[in-house]
Structure 1
Amino acid sequence: MDLPTAWNLDDKSSNLSVDESRLRVNYEGLGESDEDIGAIRANHPIPPQCKLFYFEIDITYEGKNKGIGIGFCEKAVELNGMPGWYDSSWGYHGDDGKLFCCSGIGNPYGPLYSTGDTIGCCLNFTNNTVFYTKNGITLGIAFRNLKGSLYPCFGSCSQGGSIEVNFGNRKFKFAVMIWVMNY
């Protein structure tokens, strides 16, 4: 069973660059219009048999307009839009705190996020729900009725923006194991 461990260098927009660790992403576009959006998928889908999958993204620098989206999507989703804007794509956006579920229309969810924040995403395949965390604190259920072969994804349209993903290669800010034991 292969788990997501890094970003997929062959499955990203040309507006993004990835460092040699395949964990840090930099936005290289102008960030002036929707055509400048760039997204990237992880190297493997999340196996549903793992029951619970959690990852975190550290916002190293929010960039010029804070246009950042963190979420998950299926393999067929285009990578020229933000997470959540297309069918089979879901995301939580930092510039407006909204959730996007297979549509360009967002719904209020949580706080804005920016430079220095860590946003976590937990996919629970036991009850088919998703919740996000901000700096180690849960923000509540974001999505229900999970299905499909899902990849962690990140999108940006923020000039100069930079993030780093943690797929479990270091300690999480959110106490996942404590949450699991109390769940």
Structure 2
Amino acid sequence: MKIAIFCGASLGNHPIYAEKSMELADWMAAEQHDLVFGGGKVGLMGAMANRMIAQGRVTIGVIPTFLQEREIAHPGLTDLIVVEDMHQRKAKMMDLAQVFIALPGGSGTLEEISEVISWARVGQNDGPCILYNINGYYEPLKEMFDQMVGQGFLSQDDRDKVLFSDDLGEIAQFIQTYQAPAIRRY
């Protein structure tokens, strides 16, 4: 299975982010999963790719031309797909992967996983969406999703289709038992 990882081009301010990302990469490799990611050699992106490469797994990077030109593309990937822009990057990553996991990151990471979650609600993505909640990083967003339910903007069923967790056993179970949301009707 191919898992798309959305994550920061930074390592963050605490070593736990890289440590837990390496645990995720080790789990992916042990389970024979491959990596689809943003194609960069920096931050958590580069760390995940390096760990997967070291374990002999397929690594597919999808990078827009303007980032490749800044010389941040990872040179050791199985495949580097160059696209024109960020919109094409997300679409290609969604096309290639069956599961979507966001590690801690900035506004770009949040935007990417939000779009994948949104596309699931309208029937354009049938893969599980997971926010790898390292060190409670995504707790405020988890509370926001619960607020959406409480205020009537998100159904509980759709909320239950998004996992916030840093437990690899729980993540594996969520992936195995995942049922895509019913296409939303108005």
TM over 0.5: no
Q: TM-score, with normalisation over the residues of structure 1?
A: 0.28
* Structure with the larger helix share: 2
* Structure with the larger strand share: 1
Relative contact order, CA 8 A, sep 6+: which one is greater?
A: 1
Say which one has the larger Rg: 2
